[in-house]
Amino acid sequence: MAQIQMLSEVLANQITAGEVVERPASVVKELVENAIDAHAEHIDIIVEDAGVSKIRVIDDGDGIKNDQVELAFQRHATSKILTQRDLFHVASLGFRGEALPSIASVSDVQLVTAQQDASQGMQVHYEGGTLLEAGSAAARKGTDVTVKNLFFNTPARLKYLKSQATELAKIVEVLNHLALSYPQVALRLRHGHKEILRTVGNGDLQQVLAAIYGVQQARKMLALQAEDNDFRLSGYTSLPELTRANRSYIAILINGRFVKQFQLTNALIKGYGSKLMVGRYPIAALQIEMDPTLVDVNVHPQKNEVRLSKEDELEAFIEETVRLRIQQENLIPDGYQNY
Ligand code: ADP
Ligand code: MG
């Protein structure tokens, strides 16, 4: 047997990157989540070659203190939680302190940040996990991260990527979910010279739905609003006539986080009773607020799976809310336009 030794920091980060950074969309998700956690009001996302050659995320959030920028690239370094209690009350999208070091270990990253306009900011440049450059820089308030040549040093991962169209679709999906969770944040995605998504950031969820699915579609959505002891729900779900061939247009957002929870999407579908045609599914965005101690977000490195202590109750609540709304809609005489 060989000697047991501690892995180098760079290698440990690359191992973590294997879980956190699956594809370009994972990078977009982590960087935009960081911008949202930093209270950004405007976030610009610019990608080239579906994110493989370049992903740039510019925010106008809090920025990072100059003397903490290098720390942000260390594994398990986070400003978002400190104690075990915090871990069970996570109010931010991030908390694992893994994204920046993981991304930096499998790409070429430049980050410029400042906490105030026209102040002396800070700039760092990493390649394959190694710091190449650090120094002061003129910057606007916020953070500007550019990730180039993703997976340049992990060829197997690079080869595993799908077509540009598929990788771009994954990026769009990630941003759609973030836009639906945060209507108060103005998001803009450009691929090359093409603008793909733009939300105004005025807090109106229906306008985000319009930005994603089109105005006509957004008008065929029913507003939902309900509350009980444990949950507060608001959002939109489509009229039974507006459907899609799969469930991927249903977004369940718990405490600002898109979650992949089959049982919950199923509950929404069940709420329609027999109103949906077989094999057809609604478009929906449900924002659910609940006590964070009931939501365990520490399940998976990519943080889109959660464990809910009251999952059965939440399912029943969603199903009932949708059922009542659909029933109410049916009481309106034929011919009435729903807008
Ligand atoms: P986490 O988000 O889990 O804390 P990250 O590796 O994504 O871990 O980021 C590390 C830290 O760097 C964050 O806790 C935060 O303090 C800081 N940070 C990262 N991105 C930004 C940003 N866009 N604006 C302000 N601070 C940021
Ligand atoms: Mg993060």
Which sequence spans correspond to the domains of the chain?
A: 9-198, 214-330
Total residues found in the chain within this entry: 339
- What are the residues whose beta carbons fall under 8 Å from the beta carbon of 160, sequence distance 6 or more? none
Distances (CA, A) of 84 to 37, 256, 293: 20, 21, 12
Determine phi and psi for 206, rounding to 5 degrees: -65, -30
Q: Is 99 in the pocket of ligand 1 (CB under 6 A)?
A: yes
Atom 17 (ligand 1) nearest CA:
72
User: What was the ipTM of the complex prediction?
Assistant: 0.99
Q: Is 90 in the pocket of ligand 1 (CB under 6 A)?
A: no
Average pLDDT, the chain: 95
CB 270 within 8 Å of CB 219: no
Token pair of 83 as six digits = 């104690």
CB 114 within 8 Å of CB 140: yes
Q: What is the mean pLDDT of residues 257-278?
A: 96
Q: What is the pLDDT of residue 335?
A: 52
Question: pLDDT per residue over 164-189, tens digit each?
Answer: 999 999 999 999 999 999 999 999 99
Report CA(60)–ligand 1 centroid distance (Å). 14
Give the bridge partners for 308, in sequence order.
295
Question: pLDDT per residue over 40-72, tens digit each?
Answer: 999 999 999 999 999 999 999 999 999 999 999
Q: Is 281 in the pocket of ligand 1 (CB under 6 A)?
A: no
Report the candidate in 211, 233, 197 with the shortest Cα–Cα distance to residue 222: 233
Q: Over 281-324, what HEC string results?
A: EECEEEEEEECHHHEECCCCCCCCCCEECCHHHHHHHHHHHHHH
- What are the residues whose beta carbons fall under 8 Å from the beta carbon of 251, sequence distance 6 or more? 176, 177, 180, 181, 258, 284, 285, 286
Q: Is 200 left (phi over 0), alpha (psi -120 to 50) or beta?
A: alpha
Report CA(210)–ligand 2 centroid distance (Å). 28
Q: Is 297 in the pocket of ligand 1 (CB under 6 A)?
A: no
- What are the residues whose beta carbons fall under 8 Å from the beta carbon of 68, sequence distance 6 or more? 79
- Secondary structure percentages of the chain, helix, strand, coil, to 5: 35, 25, 35
Report CA(80)–ligand 1 centroid distance (Å). 8
Of 88-92, 250-254, 295-299, highest mean pLDDT: 250-254
Q: Is the domain defined by 214-330 classed in CATH 3.40.1390.30?
A: no
Q: What is the mean pLDDT of residues 243-248?
A: 97
* Per-residue DSSP letter, 75: T
Question: pLDDT per residue over 76-126, tens digit each?
Answer: 999 999 999 999 999 999 999 999 999 999 999 999 999 998 779 999 999
Asked if the domains at 9-198 and 214-330 fall in one CATH topology, the answer is no
Report CA(39)–ligand 2 centroid distance (Å). 13
Instruction: Tell me which CATH homologous superfamily contains domain 9-198.
Output: Histidine kinase-like ATPase, C-terminal domain (3.30.565.10)
pLDDT at 336 over 70: no
Distances (CA, A) of 313 to 94, 209, 267: 27, 27, 11
Tell me the C-alpha distance between 91 and 2, whole Å: 44
Q: Is 103 left (phi over 0), alpha (psi -120 to 50) or beta?
A: alpha
Atom 8 (ligand 1) nearest CA:
97
Q: What is the pLDDT of residue 66?
A: 96
Q: What is the pLDDT of residue 189?
A: 98
Report the candidate in 230, 172, 182, 232 with the shortest Cα–Cα distance to residue 207: 182
3-state secondary structure of 61: coil
Q: What is the pLDDT of residue 1?
A: 82
CB 205 within 8 Å of CB 178: no
